[in-house]
Structure 1
Amino acid sequence: MRMDTKKQIKMECSSSSNPGNPYPYPYPSHVTMKLSGEDTYDVWKTQMLCLFKSHDMLSFIQQNPLREYNYDLWERSEALVKGWILGSLSNETLKYLVNSFPNKDFTAKDAWDKLQTVYGPPVRAVQKLYAAILVQNYWDVKAILKGRIVTLRDRITINGNTALHMAVGMSNNKIFLRRMLNLASEDNQQALDMRNSEGSTLLHVAAIVGNTEAAKILIRRHSCHYMLFEKDNDGQTPLEIAVSNMQTDTSIYLFDHYSVTPDLENGEMFDGTQIVVNTISSKDYDLAYKMRRFIKDPDIVLMAIAQNFPPEVPDFADVLRNTLQAYKNAKLLVHFTCDLIRTSTTMYTTYTNVLFEATRQDAVEVVKEIVSRLPNAIGTINEDGHDIIQLAVINHSSKVYRLLYRMSKLKITNTTIEFPFKNNLLHLAARLAPENKIKHAYGPALQMQLELQWFKEVERFVSPLNVNQKNSFGETPQMVFTNEHKKLRIEGEKWLKETAQSYTIIAALITTIMFAAAITVPGGNKQDSGIPMFTNVNNFTLFAILDGISFVTSATSLIMFLSILTDRFYEQDFLFILPLKLAIGVYSLHKASEELKASEDQQLPKILLCTKDKDKDFRGLSSVKDCS
């Protein structure tokens, strides 16, 4: 009876659902090869697999084992497998692996998948496959898959995405998508059901990036209706994901297919009230209205409507700056340098370190070159737990941020993720820019405008749910921005007032001069009629026009500067209103001074010259008319 019990325990422990191990602990590893790079990966992997298999531990690296049998036993087995893996790495590889995870409590499977992605034999093929998907070259993709080095079921990114995940996340090309998804049927239908590290199916990815075309192909052509009800690691269905990411068209399409199912009608798939609230928060009022019959708690929905009710007059969209191109010789130098380190065993560490620095400096061409050679570097995490796109936001690296954002998959993983202290991406954008970045703008007021523009730009790309999300300190992104920029706002107010005071004196002086010139007619008036003596003189007419323009522009400038001096200097005023007033005031003052110079220096002397001719020939002013 006792032997049967032991045999049963051993069988259960070797299964994926109950991954215990009755062998003594600790058990030493017999792996002799230290993993240090691509050249040692094959031998290292073979030895490690032999070790795992000999102790019935393969389940710990092949799939996520359940912990329901005996948690203590599971934890001990998991720690043993993880220790075997970490103990078989070189110092450099171990440091790289540990720093790749923000949470040091990663599993053995996490470590195994990471090492396979970075050092596995298919790395070259994976890079080629990634590049082919990026340019949507189906025939190159098919040729690479035909070589059997990498398959549709292989995870080709750090986030655990397969080739199909990347195709759905990066392409709206109907023909390319259909061909790629058809390859799954030829290769293995199981490729359609693969999930990434976040538990996202292909339909989840389509919902996140708003790829309605991919959703149609999956549901119509491949009968993947069951994916409508699949949930990711956060327990969200594709519809909930589409709503929270403001993908209106995709949300409506998915909802049309959800609405014909009895589960949705009974409210069994998700909290109907919550998804309606999320829809309202995403400003998708059309879809929210269609889903009104699923509301169970109208009080909550009403509060959401009150908080997100659209204004009568829409806000003006923020204007993004045009990205600048790097110098041609610099790009050639980057390309050449990358060729030199291509064969190095430390290329991954080198690339990622350079990538972090290039992101801090906003060197977009360097980032573009490295990402094209090592796509997985995008997900690499630095010692502070930040990946590349998060680092770009913190350092206000706008060109790098826009480059990375154009890669649709980055929208998936970075706009809603929580960082340490529960700060989202917008909390990071609310921080004060590094000194070398903030000095790009002249004066504290324009620096404040630059900070607001960056905050608003990042705000456009995150989910509306993140805008009012609080961190561990109970602060929303806007509260963080206000606290971080309090000193800069005060300095900006002082700078604007001092500037406006200086210009006000000049504007008032020009206004006074031009007003006096307007009411004092050169040459006097005719005594019999009161008409100016030089009414018919061309130079006199031009003088009057220039005088009027100068007076109006100087008065406009004076009004603008006075309005700045009396402004309330709210934080949001630095974004548009105050800089606009300053720009109008300076331009008007410059224009007034130009017209003053033209009227006084060029036209008035000619008029006075004509005064001498008036005494010589006053009859009909024939000679005076020629004074032009």
Structure 2
Amino acid sequence: MATTILPGTVVPEVLLGKENYENWSSCIKNYLLAQDLWDIIETSMEPPCKPEDDDHEVEFKAWRKKNAATLHAIQISCGMNILSEIKGISSAKILWDKLAKKYEHPAQEGRVSLKLLAAGGDNMNQTTGFSEYTKLYEAVRNSEWEVANEFITQHPDSVRAKITHLGQTVLHFAVLAQCEDIAKWLVEEKMSKEDLEIRDNEGLTALALTIICGYQRMVECMITKNPELVTVGNNRGLDSPIVLALRHGQTELAHYLYVTTPFEELLPERGPLGATVVTKAIHTAHYDLAERLIRRCPRLAITLDTDNICPLSLFVGTSSLFGAEFLKAPWNHMTMIKLVSPRHADIFKYYLDNRKEGQTHAGSIGGSGTHDQAADSMSIRSLKKQYLRLLFVMFDSMSWTMNEYQIGIESGLAQAIFTAVRAGIIGFVSLIVEEKRELLYWVRDGKTRNVLMSAVQHRQAIIFGMIFGLKETKATLLSTRDNLGNNILHVAGTLTEFSPLLEDITGAALKMQTEVQWFKGVEKLCNPMYRNERNFASLTPEQVFTQTHKKLIEEGERWMKDTASSCTVVGALIMTIMFAAAFIVPGGNNQDTGFPILLNRKLFKIFIIADSLSLFSSSTSVLIFLGILTSRFEAKYFRRSLTAKMIMGLSTLFFSIATMMIAFSSAI
């Protein structure tokens, strides 16, 4: 099977870290299976020895080609920070195993099955080594404080011993068993500060379990005893208490932990914790908490978190949570403008007023008459207000981020801008265009493509037009080449696996027409010399277009031929029926003159005219569809010739059916 790897991202997920490894690996696996490449990963076969004779040369070349294709597919789907670590690996299987080892979450990491832990039954601590704590275990489970106190008094070290096979201390289990009084007693009277930092086999402290369960008073009690607990990592050091609270939807606890966590611990100089809190707050729609953090430390907006995700980049992509129509509806105008700073208000109003798409979302939100639906509507509106406030707070935080490190290829700022371009977040890009226009010159993605090239690659017409209209940037951005030697026409000719321009188009032929129109449209705007420039693979833009659209051309050809064949049969059938009906007229013929008996009737004249029109139009449609079946199916013909023939053929066929029905109606 021929293997083709497109010079663009092959799956919608780009590997950024542990947080999205599961989704990424699933997408990549399905892609490799579809391309007949998965056996390179799945099998443990060694590469064939380098051929010393002709017998093994074919086998070696086949393996080398599949390995290179698999390796390329994985590499171009990784973020730049990860790619820089793996670029030296030449074996696809070794690369896959390395990524899995580094980014795959261990089983049940960060997740606690409370039912399993709290309802473990009598066998919970009966394994070897835990039987001596059975009495204490049972006392806590049954809320027998006096028995527990007696046992701990006799065995003081039991408060820090692991009494279950999951490595839990008595405090862990008291939390899971919802014995708040016993837990409070243990913390205040029996355990030291250091005892509270003991982790179970899942890497969780007792505070972490308390946060997951949502016990506010227990959390306050533990932090009062040991304030340093707020900085102790959990889940093998990955999650701090505030991150755990956000991950598990404990809103009140998250705000409490934010107040009790020393702000110095959240600064970028101390590590990625602060950025991680912001990204988790955005993930869980706690925009108010994220706003408080960014206002106090604007640098957090573009600092990478523990999964190498930039908060600004993540935030820009979350506008889809409110639907595709977010920021379009009339009720947003005055509300949103009041929320933004005066220097942003004109920009924002311009953006809102110039949206060309429908305004259906607000109507669907505001049309409810029930109390619950009205409450939901207010909640959504409140979230949108918080979202926009955070948007402009983050945008203002970029005012000082203009040095080389902060706008580099792997920077959070570049990550955010290209996320907005790929997702078509026009509002954010419009702010960049109006107030941070210099960033358009500087930022580059992982392939050293600029913002204009990215807009072309992802078929974002509005963003492309917005940037192309800037006279001072147009020439510079158009003349840029990426790290593969591609100019902007090469990029326009590359088929992106998931293109928003093609999502709503049905039929491979119509998709192909759209792609040709896009390529030709960009070509008209570029210098004519770009058409003949070659990239590092010695391919012109036209050749890149043909190569990457080969499969779509084949699908378009098959679609048009199948449609034309079916319509030809229908047209021929109508033509036969209407030809016969012309001689077998309603009412018969006069035996003496041969003229139809009903010749002077008005309905008969309608019948004759409709029959003739149906016959002629069906004959025309058959000829047009036969012309399609014998046409050449090259990319350039999809733009006008083939699609025009298909439209004319379908139109004449529809007209023949309509006139046939008129003839039938007049005859009866």
Q: Which bracket does the TM-score occupy, shorter chain normalised?
A: 0.3 to 0.5
TM-score (norm 1): 0.43
